[in-house]
Every structure is written in structure tokens, then in C-alpha cells.
Amino acid sequence: MTEEPFAHSRRYMDRAREVIPRGVSSARRAALRPTPLAFVRASGSRITDVDGNEYLDYVAGYGPMLLGHQPHSVFDAVREQLAAGVLYGGQHEAEAELAERIVRLVPSAEMVLLSVTGSEAAQAALRLARAATGRRAIVKFEGHYHGWLDPVTANTPGSPVGSGPAPRPVAVPDHSVVGPEVLVCPWNDAEALADLLERHGFEVAAVIMEAVAVNGGNLFADDGYLAEARRLCDRYGCLLVFDEVVTGFRLALGGAQQRLGVVPDLTVLAKALGSGFPISAVAGRAEVMRVAEGRVAHAGTYNGNALSVVAANATLDVLEAKRDVIYPLLERLSGELTAGINERADRHGVPLRATRAGSVIRLHWDAPDPVRGYADVLAGRTEPLRELAESLVRNGVHARENGLWYVSAAHTEEDVARTLAAVDRALTEVTS
């Protein structure tokens, strides 16, 4: 790195801020220090910025790059499709092929609707649930994120209506932002959910949750909680929706639901499905999905666009063919990284802890140890994590400022060793 290693990124950001609010196209990207970076290319586990600095990448495009950057067979399929057209405004065979694959792989999937982003697919799931049940209310959980669109922005990290734990289930008061019918409940608290549904259960269309609370601290629920949520939904006739935008195809080929053995009514999928090409899906019970044949309009110019669909088919091809190699590899590397970070934190005497869900790692600073719930996550300090991320960037590791890391199948043992050496240096810097 040169003396001013981020000069071109800084210059880019100065230019961009004149014409793009905060200079970024997605809000969280503005948080990286010493400056949000501008990139020129990415390949495998590496990403290179406009100043020529190369990093080991754990941002992974915010999760989609499960196979690393530019996986060969996916890019070959996309190149081939480019020669045949991008957007037909009509059907093409790869769409049904993709839906058939998802039905085969994801336990809850009997039918599939394709969209472009995770936020949209979450909205589609909620709309389907409302139409299928004839009810309006939605239950969501503290800290769980389902995209940036109304009405589920309530109580997510960085939300305009607050991210603190709700002492008890509350209707979110800011109607203009989230609508009056979103009930926020603490997660992994079966009693709280039972209480809430006892009072409102017959008004509730959907109970939506991240089956593993990735955005709420990267935590698994206690044994039995998801099964109890399933039972309660059945009792009150609410649809259980798993947002597997992050965990789908990442935690296991069939997602968190396969790994944890609880089948929702509807599942939201995105990120890892497309290896970086924008694609998402709602999948679920045919009886519910068929509501889209009349009572719910599901539309979108780019839905099922040929490039994203062939990218998704090629991605699932690789994941299916190499499942016995890829998932154990992801577990091993992520396990080594998590243990290595915690070991180094102890050695440096800093209150840093990493929690892991499959190949997703989340760092916590000064949070209760072990981190057991969203309140513990919020008790942690964010500023030291930002300093650590900045220091890691200076040491060749691209990681998010909030400590959420994604490991990919392109990472290697050598990458892990280099990353841990960088963590060592970064911890020395932030504690000196």
C-alpha cells in the first residue's frame, strides 16, 4: 500500500457525494472507515479496490458470494446466456428448471415465485399470507431484518423506529413508516410468542422470522423454539414464514429449515441463490402460493430475467454436485476462523467474541459472554467493532463495520491463517 493507501477511494467518494446521497447506493456501505471503498474487481476470495489494494473478502457482496467471486461455471453459463439475450418479457425454460430445483432442494417448497431482491420477496410472502388468511396483522421479531421496505422495517438494526428490545410485544406506533399492524415480539421466547398470539393470534396473517437470527446477532434459537413457533402458528391459523435470505443454500443446501428440521409455510430466498446476480424467490405450500393465481398480483419487469436465472441454476448445480465437499469445508474454515478470533481476543485481553452460524460469523465487543439474545447483542459496543474493521482494512481484510462476516467456498486454509494474522495485528493496533 502507498502512503495514502485509500486516495482514489476518497476521491471517488468526494465526487459521488455530490450526486448520490452519502455517496453510496445502499445505506450501510457508508459506514466503512477510514472511507467507504470503491472497487475495481473481485475474484475467488479476493477483492481489489481502486487504489490497487487487495483484500481477503468477508463482506462477500453482503452475503451472496457463497462460491466466492466469479465462480467459473456460473460465469460461463451467464456468458452463454448473454449471447442469447437478457430480458424477454416472456418465459424461458430455465425459469421452470430453477423452480423445479428449488422445490427439490428446499423442504417447504412446493411452488416458487421469482423476484429480484430479498426485500421484494419478503413483501410478496407477506402479501400472499395476508391474502391466503384474510387477515392483516404480522408478527416480526426484535432485531430481525426482512429488507428495507415497509412494513417490516420495525425494530431492525438501524431502523428509524428504534432497534431496542421491546419490553413486551408492541404495535409499532409510527404508522407512516411501518403501518399499524406489525407486532414486534422478542425472539427465542416461546412464552412471549404464546402470549402475543393468545391476544392477537386470530388477527395474525404471518409470523415472519429469520430461522437463525443472523441480523439479530447471529444466534440459533434454543432447542424446541422453532417447533413451538410452528405449533402456535398452526393453532391460530397463522402462516409461518422463514426469511432465509441469508441462510438459504448457505446453512445447508436446503437452508436453515433443513438443518433445524422445522418446515415453514413460506420461505424467502435470495443472496446465495444467485452468486451475485440479483434474484430472489418466495417458495411454499402450493395452497398458499396459488393465491398468486388470482387474489395477489405478483409482478416485476426483471422477475425471472435470463441472466439471474441461469446464474441461479448454475449455482445450485455446483452446490448440489459438491454438497459433500462445500458444506463441510465452509463449516471447517468458519469454525477455525471463529475459534482463532476468540483465541486471539483472549490473548490480547479484549472483550471480543465471535458467534457462528454455519459460514456466517458475527463479532461482538463487550457483550455478555456467551451472547444469548438480542438484548445481549445491543449491550455490546459498536465503536470498537468499527475500529477493528478499519484496522482490518488497513491489514488487507475487507470486513463489515458491524462485525458480520461471510465465509465462502473460495476461502482456503491459507486465507484463514492470513486473516488470523491480520486480526492479531488489528487487535494490537486497536488496543495500543
CB 247 within 8 A of CB 357: yes
Residue span binding ligand PLP (CB under 6 A) among the ranges 107-115, 140-148, 228-236, 311-319: 140-148
How far lies 374's CA from each of 204, 242, 354, in Å?
23, 18, 15
Instruction: Give the sign of the dihedral formed by CA 276, CA 280, CA 284, CA 286.
Output: negative
Residue length, the chain?
432
Amino acid 90 reads G
Torsion angle (degrees, nearest 10) of CA 146, 148, 151, 153 = 70
Shortest approach of ligand PLP to residue 26 CB, angstroms?
A: 7
Residue 146 binds ligand PLP (CB under 6 A): yes
CB 43 within 8 A of CB 69: yes
Residue 401 binds ligand PLP (CB under 6 A): no
Shortest approach of ligand PLP to residue 120 CB, angstroms?
A: 7
Shortest approach of ligand PLP to residue 72 CB, angstroms?
A: 24
Nearer to ligand PLP, 145 or 327 (CB): 145
H-run or E-run covering 138: strand 137-141
In the annotation, is 12 catalytic? Answer: no
Q: Interior CA angle at 81 toward 76 and 85, to 5°?
A: 155
Residues in CB range of 352: below 8 A, 6 or more apart: 341, 342, 345, 363, 364, 365, 384, 388, 427
Shortest approach of ligand PLP to residue 118 CB, angstroms?
A: 2
Distance CA 57, CA 396 (A): 9
Binds ligand PLP (CB under 6 A): choice among 12, 58, 141, 145: 145
Residue 246 binds ligand PLP (CB under 6 A): yes
Residue 267 binds ligand PLP (CB under 6 A): no
In the annotation, is 243 catalytic? Answer: yes
Shortest approach of ligand PLP to residue 202 CB, angstroms?
A: 27
Binds ligand PLP (CB under 6 A): choice among 37, 60, 111, 270: 270
Question: Which residues in 85-130 belong to E strands, given as ranges?
Answer: 111-115
H-run or E-run covering 244: strand 239-244
Residues in CB range of 52: below 8 A, 6 or more apart: none
Binds ligand PLP (CB under 6 A): choice among 142, 189, 210, 265: 210
Shortest approach of ligand PLP to residue 251 CB, angstroms?
A: 12
Near ligand PLP in 272-301, by CB under 6 A: none
Distance CA 362, CA 351 (A): 14
Distance CA 108, CA 249 (A): 13
SS3 content of the chain, % helix, strand, coil (to 5): 45, 15, 40
Residue 380 binds ligand PLP (CB under 6 A): no
Near ligand PLP in 214-243, by CB under 6 A: 215, 243
Nearer to ligand PLP, 146 or 353 (CB): 146
The 89-118 contact track toward ligand PLP, x by CB under 6 A, reads: ----------------------------xx
Nearer to ligand PLP, 119 or 395 (CB): 119
Distance CA 154, CA 178 (A): 6
Nearer to ligand PLP, 146 or 398 (CB): 146
Nearer to ligand PLP, 245 or 312 (CB): 245
Residue 155 binds ligand PLP (CB under 6 A): no
In the annotation, is 145 catalytic? Answer: yes
Binds ligand PLP (CB under 6 A): choice among 38, 78, 245, 260: 245
Annotated catalytic residue, options 55, 58, 145, 225:
145
Binding site for ligand PLP (CB under 6 A): 62, 117-119, 122, 145-147, 210, 215, 243, 245-246, 270
* Active site residues per annotation: 145, 243, 271
